[in-house]
Structure 1
Amino acid sequence: MAIIVVGGMIGAGKTSVAKLIGNALGSDIFYENVDDNEILPLFYTASEEEQELKRYSFLLQLEFLSSRFYSIKEALVHRNNVLDRSIYEDWYFAKVNNDLGRISNLEFSIYEKLLTNMLEELDELPKKSPDLMIYLTGSFDTILKRIGIRGREFEQDINLVNYYETLWSGYDDWVDNHYHASQVIKIDIDKYDVVNNPADAEVVIELVKNKLVEMGQLEPATK
């Protein structure tokens, strides 16, 4: 069986897909640390002045990096896990916030050194990296709709739309040209809604299982 990470934009449905695939494969599931993250609401709601003074963007990236490092260390010890976003995507968020001026060049340099050290530590584990990323991709309209439906109050501010669009606009390029940790299967969230359409959920499960069979990570189903 494989180690699988589920990647994609804020609101894309990573948690739902991780749960769906984890249950279908009988895997443990490692969820992104959101509910217990005290910095996340501050990152979304602080004014520019507060962001500059408190450095919430940098602190948030360190918090996520720490929790994702912990999760992937636990996952890579075994052969059968699903992670709701992984340490590999964390760099992309840090880079976008650096480009936007929310993380300084010095902070980003420190962040990259820490990430490099963490990834080198992973080389010492029984398994070095995931086998497969399930990447959820789709239109920006669908992303905004799903963020709205999810209803986290701190994500709803209209002033965040430009930030979301900046993240969204470069995500496909990051996956296509900068992510090399594993093979990738793309799921079009404009086409498949695994939460509200059971038939879509079954299709996504089969797409992932077929990919794992192709990779030699899953035995073909017997007729």
Structure 2
Amino acid sequence: MIIGISGMIAAGKSSLSEKLHNYYKNSIMLHEFEEGDEVFNTFLKWLYEKQPNLTIGFQSYIIENHSTKFTEMTDKFLKDKKDPKNDHIFLDRFSLEHYIFAKLILSEKGQRYLDAYDALFERLISNNELPELAIYLDISFETFVKRIFERGRETEVNNFDSNYEYFKNLHNNYLKIFKEIACKYNLKYVIIDANNKTEKEVFDEAINIIEREVNAKYR
């Protein structure tokens, strides 16, 4: 089964994805980005520094990069003759979800930029790239701020104050737009309230969700 782990920045997606990948020994995991991805890290740094004229370029890179890696991964899954019932592909965020960031960022550029990105997005994203199940980790804005500073990524922390309104707007709209996208693409999802829960508690809840969905799908 292809399972996407979704949610706001610092919701705990990567940690949960890694734990699930380690738990399901024959699974494959696709990271949202690699730590050493110089292009992504540079774009992200420029975004937080509010450098001009990079928005569509950044969003297009994310989609194309993720889409290519996803195709390579699913091809390998089939080549290795893995069992879709017991062997899973975990996505640390997935292509469709990046539309949320693009919509909010490009809205500041005007409608024609949104229209241009919508056209590009519709062409690049196929239903084959969608997870069969998305697990959405929901956190409050207060939890988001706490976790941003706890994990201490230099680009995020150093530019937090200048991007406060962006983060606030993103949090206010993230789940709303996620639900709109899920409805449009008929995406099945389950929400976990990750506030005031340990990583183990979130992990255990995710395992129960996955086992329930797998049993329902393949019974």
TM-score (norm 2): 0.81
Residue type of the alignment partner of 1:33: F
What is residue 91 of structure 1 aligned with on the other side?
Answer: 99
Query: Relative contact order: is structure 1 or structure 2 higher (C-alpha 8 Å, sep ≥ 6)?
Result: 2
How many aligned residue pairs are there? Answer: 199
Post-superposition shift, 1:104?
3.9
Post-superposition shift, 1:110?
2.4
| C-alpha spacing 1:144/1:61, structure 2 compared with 1 (3 Å) | same
Post-superposition shift, 1:219?
9.8
Matched, 1:146 2:166: no
Residue type of the alignment partner of 2:45: P
Counterparts of 2:106 and 2:33 in 1: how far apart (Å)?
Answer: 22
Counterparts of 1:143 and 1:62 in 2: how far apart (Å)?
Answer: 26
Counterparts of 2:205 and 2:217 in 1: how far apart (Å)?
Answer: 14
Post-superposition shift, 1:193?
2.8
Post-superposition shift, 1:75?
4.2
Contact 1:76 1:129 in 2 (8 A): no
Matched, 1:29 2:37: no
- The farther-off stretch of 75-84 and 88-97 is 75-84
Write out aligned runs for 1:1-223 (5 A). Answer: 2-26=1-25, 27-33=27-33, 35=35, 36=37, 37=40, 38-46=42-50, 50-51=51-52, 55-77=53-75, 78=77, 79=84, 80-99=88-107, 101=108, 103-120=109-126, 122-123=127-128, 129-156=130-157, 157=159, 158-180=161-183, 181=185, 182-194=187-199, 201=200, 203-217=201-215
Counterparts of 1:141 and 1:209 in 2: how far apart (Å)?
Answer: 26
5+ unaligned residues in a row in structure 2: which ranges? 78-83
Counterparts of 1:193 and 1:147 in 2: how far apart (Å)?
Answer: 16
Post-superposition shift, 1:172?
1.8
Post-superposition shift, 1:81?
0.8
Post-superposition shift, 1:144?
0.8
Counterparts of 1:114 and 1:189 in 2: how far apart (Å)?
Answer: 33
- The farther-off stretch of 86-95 and 173-182 is 173-182
Contact 1:24 1:205 in 2 (8 A): no
Structure 1 vs Structure 2 CA RMSD: 2.3
TM-score (norm 1): 0.79
SS state at 1:83 partner: strand
Q: Tell me the alpha carbon deviations over residues 153-191 of structure 1, each in whole angstroms, 9 at most, x when there is no partner.
A: 111221111110100001121233331453212222213
Q: Tell me the alpha carbon deviations over residues 23-57 of structure 1, each in whole angstroms, 9 at most, x when there is no partner.
A: 112221111115311211111113xxx42xxx122
What is residue 198 of structure 1 aligned with on the other side?
Answer: none
Contact 1:39 1:60 in 2 (8 A): yes
Post-superposition shift, 1:116?
1.1
SS state at 1:179 partner: helix
Post-superposition shift, 1:58?
2.0
Q: Tell me the alpha carbon deviations over residues 62-116 of structure 1, each in whole angstroms, 9 at most, x when there is no partner.
A: 12111221233234443421011100111111111122x1x44333222222221
| C-alpha spacing 1:217/1:76, structure 2 compared with 1 (3 Å) | farther
| C-alpha spacing 1:66/1:219, structure 2 compared with 1 (3 Å) | closer
| C-alpha spacing 1:107/1:177, structure 2 compared with 1 (3 Å) | closer
User: Kindly, what percent of the aligned residue pairs are identical?
Assistant: 25
| C-alpha spacing 1:75/1:183, structure 2 compared with 1 (3 Å) | farther
